[in-house]
């Protein structure tokens, strides 16, 4: 049988530390997931903006070439 002092020590000291550690890990994982999702969203938005810039640049370049050729 487990002595009462050992059981009390586990419940009052070790268990709260373990639970705190477990909850901390879960919170950290949640933060990482959210940050990853936000990063992916930023990358998507930047990709769209970059494509627009490239399209605009291509259109401007084509206009300049037409003007030079004419």
Say how far apart CA 15 and CA 22 lie, in whole Å: 10
The better pLDDT of the pair 69, 11 is held by 69
Q: Tokens 């009462």 appear where?
A: 4
- CB count in 10 Å sphere of residue 10: 13
Residue 1 placed within a domain: no
Residue 18 placed within a domain: no
Give residue 46's domain range. 37-70
Say how far apart CA 44 and CA 36 lie, in whole Å: 12
Residues 14-64 have pLDDT tens digits of 888 888 888 888 888 888 889 999 999 999 999 999 999 999 999 999 999
pLDDT given at position 5: 82
Judge whether residue 7 has pLDDT over 80. Answer: no
Residue 17 placed within a domain: no
Task: Record the pTM.
Answer: 0.56
User: How many domains in the chain?
Assistant: 1
Residue 23 placed within a domain: no
């Amino acid at each position: 049988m487990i002595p009462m002092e050992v059981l009390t020590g586990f419940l009052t000291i070790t268990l709260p530390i373990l639970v705190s550690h477990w909850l901390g890990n879960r919170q950290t994982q949640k933060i990482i997931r959210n940050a990853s999702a936000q990063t992916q969203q930023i990358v998507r938005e930047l990709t769209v903006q970059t494509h627009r810039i490239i399209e605009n640049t291509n259109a401007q370049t084509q206009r300049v070439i037409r003007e030079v050729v004419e």
